[in-house]
Amino acid sequence: MKISAIMTSKPYVLSPEQTIAEAARLFLHQQIDGAAVVNTQNELLGLVGKTQLYEALAADTALKCPISKIMITDVITCRPDDDIDTIIDKDVSRLPVIEGGKVVGIVTFSDLIRHYHMEIKDLKNIKSMKEQLDAVFEASFDYLFVTDAEGRVTKANQAYYRITGIKPEEVIGKTMYELLAQGFYDRSCSVEVIETLKPVTFVQKIKTGRTVLVTGNPVFDENGKLVSVITNGRDITELNELKQEVEHVESLSAHYKNELTRIKGWSDFVVAAPVMVELMDKVSHLAQFDSAVLITGESGVGKEIIAHQIHLHSNRCDKPYIRINCAAIPENLLESELFGYAEGAFTGAKKGGKIGIFELANGGTLLLDEIAELPFSMQAKLLRVIQENEVTRIGSTKITRIDVRIITSTNRDINEMIKNNQFRKDLFYRLNVVPVRVPSLRERREEIPDLVSHFLNKFNHQYKLNKYIDPGLIKKLISYEWPGNIRELSNVIERAVVTSADDIIKEIILESNDCINDNILKLENHGSLRDITQGIEKHYLKAAFDQHGSTRKAAASLGISQSTFCRKAAQYDIKLSDEGPH
């Protein structure tokens, strides 16, 4: 450290003409022990301290005597850029600091004491910090390993021995070049960092048979010179064990998923009408084969559910099920979404490229929803993929074999589109190997009461409510045309549940032509209050039994005893003869 860092700049000074009394007052008022004597050009003439004042008073020197008579002229000085260490052995209590022949400061013994006090305090802080860093160094789960700029090992923590099986004392003090020659490692992270002056990461093999992922980082001084290399390492064996555990958990998850699928069956939607029972039988049968399926039907009839059920009941049920909506993806992005692209295929392409939908679904089932919306230019490319069972990513020449079952769906008349040259006939033949038509809700009105009950239970559970639909509304729901099919029915029931202020829903607002109109189903007053009450009671007794399949479960769901349920069922002539096991 330089003198300039601890000296007092612009110190108090005296002129040679000033008296001993003036010097004494300056020392007293400014609480200083001495001052430099300078001329008008601020050049040093001498030095006066308390000792000179005491000597003058002891000799009965007059207070009006000029200080030039008592000042020291043989003065030891220093410069601002001198090191502090150069004045430690000077036998003086203060030194004027001279620069360019002029006094620019003064440094005292007290200044030195304060400086060294701060140095000692800093050293204590550094010692405490070092102890903390040493504790962190030793507590690290990864091993930490330090070499100097020549590759000589200076430090290694205990984790190094735990991970590598090599004791730190076997390597500390040796260079990495020596240890490489002795076969301790197949590669040295420290050596490569020293040679490249850049961070390095790779997998290292240790002579003990362990495999370690290591990362080395260079440490530079303030001048950019390499001073050391810090390497951390983690045993990949432990990561491999974790990977095996994850794979085990995934296998269990797949097993449980298969079991749930088997148990679940067709329970996630309602099948009540004969036409739907026949459809489900057909779906269950054709699911066993990999033939292409084209599902047609109006919007909202449940085409996607049918497609998913085909996958769930196929031998591909444990493989991916991927759905893509051909109408939802812009035409300029559709090809890259379906077939993927290679790195650098176009501006903005992801590094490493991107896997396409066909590759993602490999081994499983791919649903191309709204296939009729596929651009005509893309239809030939899709046909080639289906025919050849292979894809080539955009910007690549590599061919990837695929094994995907294709299911398509549409609510449009593709035959009409073929006549208008909007859809390729050869692609249609490839997709329409097994046609499946899902009937509209108008063709299976007998399912409406069960669907209403299904959606009512669903939304009651979702919104934590307990609402009922007045039985008088069911007939009107059945007679409605339902242009939006099951999707519209679901929306209507949800709206009724969340907007009804009472637990019993007495009116339902229907939709027509995608607009809310005044078509409102309202509860009509048929007979007395007793008749209305009995009608509601009969409806919910029957609905509970139809839902649960046993009098015990139905009674429990309604909060009544089984005997009360049976008695009321007999009262309302509700047939219980087909009751399954309790």
Confidence class for position 148, pLDDT limits 50, 70, 90: very high
Asked whether the predicted pLDDT for residue 166 surpasses 50, the reply is yes
The pLDDT score that the predictor gives to residue 555 is 84
pLDDT digits (tens, 9 = 90+) for 424-461: 999 999 999 999 999 999 999 998 999 999 999 999 99
Distance CA 286, CA 313 (A): 9
- Asked if 191 and 180 touch (Cβ cutoff 8 Å), the reply is yes
Asked whether the predicted pLDDT for residue 143 surpasses 90, the reply is no
- Whether this prediction's pTM lies above 0.95 is answered by no
- Asked if 526 and 515 touch (Cβ cutoff 8 Å), the reply is no
Identify which has the larger pLDDT, 287 or 539: 287
CA 320 to each of CA 12, 183, 311, 367: distance values in angstroms, whole numbers, following the listed order: 88, 48, 9, 11
- Asked if 345 and 394 touch (Cβ cutoff 8 Å), the reply is yes
Asked whether the predicted pLDDT for residue 561 surpasses 90, the reply is no
CA 327 to each of CA 299, 419, 482, 544: distance values in angstroms, whole numbers, following the listed order: 14, 21, 24, 41
pLDDT digits (tens, 9 = 90+) for 52-83: 999 998 988 899 999 999 999 988 899 999 88
Asked whether the predicted pLDDT for residue 297 surpasses 50, the reply is yes
| Mean pLDDT value across residues 43-51 | 91
Q: Say whether 449 sits in a helix, a strand or coil.
A: helix
Asked whether the predicted pLDDT for residue 122 surpasses 70, the reply is yes
The pLDDT score that the predictor gives to residue 435 is 96
Confidence class for position 578, pLDDT limits 50, 70, 90: very low
- Asked if 407 and 307 touch (Cβ cutoff 8 Å), the reply is yes
Confidence class for position 264, pLDDT limits 50, 70, 90: very low
The pLDDT score that the predictor gives to residue 253 is 59
Mean pLDDT of the chain: 85
84-93, 393-402, 405-414, 565-574: range with highest mean pLDDT? 405-414
Residue 358 CB neighbours (<10 A): 24
The domains located in the chain, with CATH, are: 3-108 (3.10.580.10), 140-238 (3.30.450.20), 265-439 (3.40.50.300), 442-571 (1.10.8.60)
pLDDT digits (tens, 9 = 90+) for 341-383: 888 888 777 777 888 899 989 999 999 999 999 999 999 999 9
